[in-house]
Each structure stands twice: as structure tokens, then as C-alpha cells.
Amino acid sequence: MIAVVKNSATTEQKEHLISWIKGQGIEVHISEGHDYTVLGLIGDTSRIDMDLIASLEIVESVKRVAEPFKQCGRKFHPDDTVIEIGNVKIGGGNFAMIAGPCSVESHDQILEVATSVAASGATLLRGGAFKPRTSPYDFQGLKADGIELLLEAKKVTGMPIVTEIMNANHLPLFEDVDVIQVGARNMQNFELLKELGKTGKTILLKRGLANTLKELLMSAEYIMAGGNSNIILCERGIRTFETFTRNTLDLSAVPLLHELTHLPVVIDPSHATGQAKLVEPMAVAAAACGADGIMIEVHNDPLHALCDGAQSLTPAQFGEVARKVMKIREAING
Ligand code: PEP
Ligand code: MN
């Protein structure tokens, strides 16, 4: 971190600042210039409040040189992280195809969707058991029964399962769940992230509706700081002024995150667009820009889905998307 101090500051003021910084275990390199004094802060500055320093009258500007996301940053871990979930790998050139309904609704629904998406090339089965709904009067999910049904579908198809957690108290119910999803609304539920950091579970961390990539990485850092580095990041669209789509898919997140972090990045074109017809073009684009996977909502009867029917593909439509996505991957991988 570099702090530029105005030369109008008195020696006493400068010394006061320097000793305050040193008091936090940071070495300070002082460079006296004609107009400014530049302080180079050397050491682990992740706990230094940059805004606090910048707010001081005698400080002209402050700049971070090293990113605060140390563990998920690529700087200290140059190789791609490859997450292994049973026989499925994701990251480092391995592409994951996650598919399934928004919510698990019944035994027949989840089994029908699971068997059909498995036949079309899906590698992981998704399905919400605990649903974060905007209205308390909407279907809230089958909860523990939903997880049981997912486990049954896993037994039949062999596909590992992905399902969302909303409360750390529910963790015992997730014992046999392969990938625990943290939804967009909980991306900054730091107490939940801390609890997940204590588990060895793979976490699918979705970007919040109004969160920056840096904030997404800091949330991943919370999980890693607890000792769990099995994290998959997911871009699922952010809220903008556009109203034609449910959200705006930020595809530039893929190459940017690949530069900033070693963690795999998947795209969810279903929540990003909210419209079934837009899922295929966005899924294909995600594969083209180097995503490590896609997550798509599929329902055997979208018209009667209890949640997110408008953005759900039929199994046949998913089969077509999966085929095109694989073709794009072949094309870009030569
Ligand atoms: C979901 O994946 O079912 C979901 C609720 O997504 P998000 O948290 O991205 O809205
Ligand atoms: Mn959904």
C-alpha cells in the first residue's frame, strides 16, 4: 500500500501517522519528495483501513498495490484450481454442465429431469430444496424432503448434486450434498460463509445482485480463510437499469475473474436473463469466453413449474444447448 502525504503536513503530523501505521505491525518506507512524502507500507496490509488513512487531512491519496484477496488471488497461486466432485472435475480445462429444476417439486419431477439431463451430458444435478423467494407467500421449497429426493436422483443417475443453503443451522441436512450453493442473496452473509469455511464441502458461490467482482472474491476469501478452498464462483447476472432481462449477464466477469483468481468460474444464464429463449445464446457465449461451466434450469413442464418456469428449458431444449456448448468448446480448444 502506498500513502501520499502532503508536504503541508508538519513533521509531527507525519511522525504521528507513521507511528500509528507501525503500531499495526507494518514497516514504513519513507520517501521525501519536493511536493509530497510517499509512504510505502510493507507487510500484510489487508487489515489496514485504507479509507481511514485517505480521510486524514494530511493525506493526498492512498493506493493498494496488493489485492486484499490473498488466498483466492492468482498472485500467490498461479495454477488453476481443479475441483473434484466424485468423478466430476471442474476448472483447469474441465467443463461442468450443471442442470436441473429451480426447485425440487416431487419425486417424479426430479427423477424425470435428472435422467433426461444426464442423458444429454449434464455432469451435476441442481435443484433447490430451500428456496430464497422474494414473497413469503410463494413456494419455499420441500426443504429436507427435497434434499432426500435429490439424493434419490443421484442414486439413479450417478450425478453429484448441487443445492442451496440459506441458514448455517441447516448444515447437518447437507451432510450428503456434494456441492452447497450460496445464492446471490447470501453472498455477503458472512456468518454463513464462515461456517461453510469450516466444512470440507465444495461451495458454489453466486455473485450478489449488486456486488462487484472484488466483493465476490472477498466472500470467497471468507470461506478460504476458514480453511475451505473448494470454491466455484458463479456469475448469474447483476441488476442494472435494463428491464427486458431479469438481470444483466456480465460475461466480462469470466476473463476478469480468471485473471484475478485461480478458482473456477461458471455462468448461470437462466437467472441472468430470466427468459428461456435467451439461455442458449448466453450459454454458448459463456463457453466461448472460457467459462469453466454452465448452470441451467431445466423443468419437465416449465408451464407448471412452481418457481422460475419462464427461464426454464425443457429437457429437449437443454439437450440442444448442451450439444452446441460442447461444439463451441471443441472449436475454441482447437
Ligand atoms: C438459484 O440458483 O436457484 C437461485 C435462487 O439463484 P440466485 O441466488 O442466483 O438468484
Ligand atoms: Mn431459479
CATH number at residue 51: 3.30.70.1140
Say yes or no: 97 and 25 in one domain.
no
Cα 157 from Cα 239, distance rounded (Å): 35
Nearest residue (CA) to ligand 1, atom 9: 184
Q: At what angle do helices 315-332 and 276-288 cross, to 10 degrees?
A: 20
Q: Which of 130, 140, 164 to mutate to test the pocket of ligand 1 (most atoms within 8 A of CB)?
A: 164
Rounded to the nearest whole angstrom, what is the distance from the C-alpha of residue 184 to the centroid of ligand 1?
A: 6
Q: What is the CATH number of the domain that holds 152?
A: 3.20.20.70
Say yes or no: 94 and 231 in one domain.
yes
User: Does ligand 1 lie within 6 Å of residue 260's CB atom?
Assistant: no
Say yes or no: 234 and 192 in one domain.
yes
Say yes or no: 124 and 172 in one domain.
yes
| Domain contains 78 | no
User: Does ligand 1 lie within 6 Å of residue 271's CB atom?
Assistant: yes
DSSP state of 289: T
H-assigned helices in 83-143: 107-119
Contact call for residues 105 and 306 (beta carbons, < 8 A): yes
Which residues are registered as beta bridge partners of 27?
42
Ligand nearest to the CA of 208: 1
Which of 89, 54, 120, 56 minimizes the C-alpha distance to 314? 120
Say yes or no: 51 and 100 in one domain.
no
User: Does ligand 1 lie within 6 Å of residue 217's CB atom?
Assistant: no
Rounded to the nearest whole angstrom, what is the distance from the C-alpha of residue 312 to the centroid of ligand 2?
A: 8
Rounded to the nearest whole angstrom, what is the distance from the C-alpha of residue 12 to the centroid of ligand 2?
A: 59
Q: What is each CA distance from 177 to 3, 160, 181, in whole angstroms?
A: 47, 8, 10
Say yes or no: 289 and 166 in one domain.
yes
Say yes or no: 131 and 40 in one domain.
no
Contact call for residues 70 and 76 (beta carbons, < 8 A): yes
Nearest residue (CA) to ligand 1, atom 3: 102
Say yes or no: 142 and 282 in one domain.
yes
Q: Which of 233, 271, 279 to mutate to test the pocket of ligand 1 (most atoms within 8 A of CB)?
A: 271
User: Does ligand 1 lie within 6 Å of residue 93's CB atom?
Assistant: no
| Domain contains 77 | no
Cell of 238: 447483476
Last residue of a domain, one of 10, 31, 63: 63
Say yes or no: 140 and 55 in one domain.
no
Say yes or no: 57 and 201 in one domain.
no
pLDDT in tens, the chain (334 residues): 999 999 999 999 999 999 999 999 999 989 888 889 999 998 888 888 999 999 999 999 999 888 889 899 998 899 999 999 999 999 999 999 999 999 999 999 999 999 999 999 999 999 999 999 999 999 999 999 999 999 999 999 999 999 999 999 999 999 999 999 999 999 999 999 999 999 999 999 999 999 999 999 999 999 999 999 999 999 999 999 999 999 999 999 999 999 999 999 999 999 999 999 999 999 999 999 999 999 999 999 999 999 999 999 999 999 999 999 999 999 999 8
Say yes or no: 215 and 97 in one domain.
yes
User: Does ligand 1 lie within 6 Å of residue 206's CB atom?
Assistant: yes
Ligand nearest to the CA of 185: 1
Positive/negative CA dihedral, 327, 331, 332, 334: positive
Say yes or no: 182 and 149 in one domain.
yes
Which residues are registered as beta bridge partners of 128?
103
| Domain contains 69 | no
User: Does ligand 1 lie within 6 Å of residue 184's CB atom?
Assistant: yes
Q: Which domain holds residue 304?
A: 83-332
Number of domains within the chain: 2
Which of 127, 215, 132 minimizes the C-alpha distance to 179? 127
